[in-house]
Amino acid sequence: AKREGRNKYKFYCESMQDELMDKKEVEAILRNAVKNDGFILLYQPQVDVDTGFIEGFEALLRIKGYNISPLKFIPVAEDTGLITEIGRWVTRKAVEQIAEWKEKGYDTKPISVNFSSKQLQDTAYADFLRKILLEKGVEAEYFELEITESILLEKSSNTLEFLNTLKDMGIRIALDDFGTGYSSLNYLTFIPVNKIKLDKSLCEKFLELSNIKVMNSIIGLAHSLGLVITAEGIEDMEQYKRLKKGGCDYIQGYLFSRPVKSDEIEKIYHINMLD
Ligand code: C2E
Ligand code: CA
Ligand code: CA
Ligand code: CA
């Protein structure tokens, strides 16, 4: 009976996941995944607001066999330094995916990869990325890096030099989670960013009529700086309509698709998400 109780507890842990899992357990799971090819990338479409076709995808990391949110395991990866190796795995996998879809005859569409500010400590990252792109025959313009403004707070490293190196390589850079932090458009004039991703929490505010002016001015300001805008976490049609009216370029959210495995993406790759 005792044994059964234990198994039940274990089952409970694995299925009900995270809250019960402490940092040490997550770290052990991460180390195991790094060693044994235990990660998988899901892809979420970014849809062109005007046409309804998929413009690109964001790669989102999962641990095979576990139901742990990246919101839980990425900070552990950062604290333990595992983020360097994990970040390189994500980069390689995303580039391989672009190459695979190209080989299978799909139109090439960019994949965006999340870049943790802690990965600045991986000083050879840009060289690594350059090598992978060359090796897989993927043009740099199809690889997009998503950074957050916290990257500007990493004092020890030369963030601007790093971002300019990527820019010179032809890599696109998106500013993620816009609207959650300082939300100053000021630094957009000196960091080489191509795209702004409006955070879900900000987009939710646009459901209130009183915030439409704010939405329109953010979009207008970004466009005047030559940037494109993706709205994130869009779940309903009303949001979509407002964002379209306001001139938003791309939309990413459950309204169109959750993050899914690559074979699921293949079924929707060329279809119109508005139909
Ligand atoms: P993020 O970069 O802001 O990614 C968007 C998150 O919003 C994803 O959560 C996505 O599944 C979720 N999402 C998209 N559309 C909707 C929607 O309509 N409604 C709701 N409720 N959620 C939506 P996910 O995959 O759990 O990732 C969470 C965070 O973990 C990411 O936030 C990112 O900061 C981090 N992350 C994920 N993968 C990686 C990775 O490979 N490397 C790094 N450094 N961070 C990652
Ligand atoms: Ca992101
Ligand atoms: Ca985001
Ligand atoms: Ca447009």
Res 154: pLDDT: 83
- Tell me how long the chain is: 275
Model pLDDT, residue 157: 73
For ligand 1, residues with CB inside 6 Å are 44, 60-61, 69-71, 74, 90, 114, 116, 176-177, 200, 233-235, 252-254, 259
pLDDT of residue 184: 66
Q: What is the pTM of this model?
A: 0.93
Say what the pLDDT of residue 3 is.
44
- Residue closest by Cα to atom 21 of ligand 1: 233
Q: Which helix (H) or strand (E) element contains residue 44?
A: strand 39-48
Give 22-27 contacts, CB < 8 A, sequence gap 24+. 23/76, 23/79, 26/68, 26/72, 26/73, 26/76, 27/76, 27/80, 27/82
Q: In this predicted structure, what is the pLDDT of residue 18? A: 57
pLDDT score recorded for residue 138: 98
Measuring CA to CA, which residue among 238, 273, 264, 232 is closest to residue 251?
232
Q: What is the residue with the minimal CA distance to atom 2 of ligand 1?
A: 114
Q: Where are the beta strands (DSSP E) in 103-254?
A: 111-114, 143-147, 172-178, 195-198, 228-232, 250-252
Across the 275 residues of the chain, what is the mean pLDDT of every consecutive 10-residue run? 44 54 94 98 98 98 96 97 98 98 98 97 97 98 96 84 97 94 75 95 88 91 95 95 96 98 98 96
Residue whose CA is at the smallest distance from ligand 1 atom 4? 60
- Which are the contacts of 36, defined by CB distance < 8 A and separation ≥ 6? none
Residues 6+ apart with CB under 8 A from 102: 108, 137, 138
Ligand 1 atom at minimum distance from 235 CA: 18
Report d(CA 77, CA 27) in Å as an integer: 7
| The 3-state secondary structure of 105-145, one letter per residue | CCCCCCEEEECCHHHHHCCCHHHHHHHHHHHHCCCHHHEEE
Q: Give me ligand 3 centre to Cα 80, in Å.
A: 23
Residue nearest to atom 37 of ligand 1 (CA): 60
Other CB atoms within 10 A of residue 79 CB? 13
- Residue 145 and residue 171 in contact, taking contact as beta carbons nearer than 8 Å: yes
112: tokens are 């965006």
Ramachandran bin of 112, using left for φ above 0, alpha for ψ from -120 to 50, beta for the remaining angles? beta
pLDDT at 42: 98
Ligand closest to Cα of 180 equals: 3
How high is the pLDDT of residue 10? 47
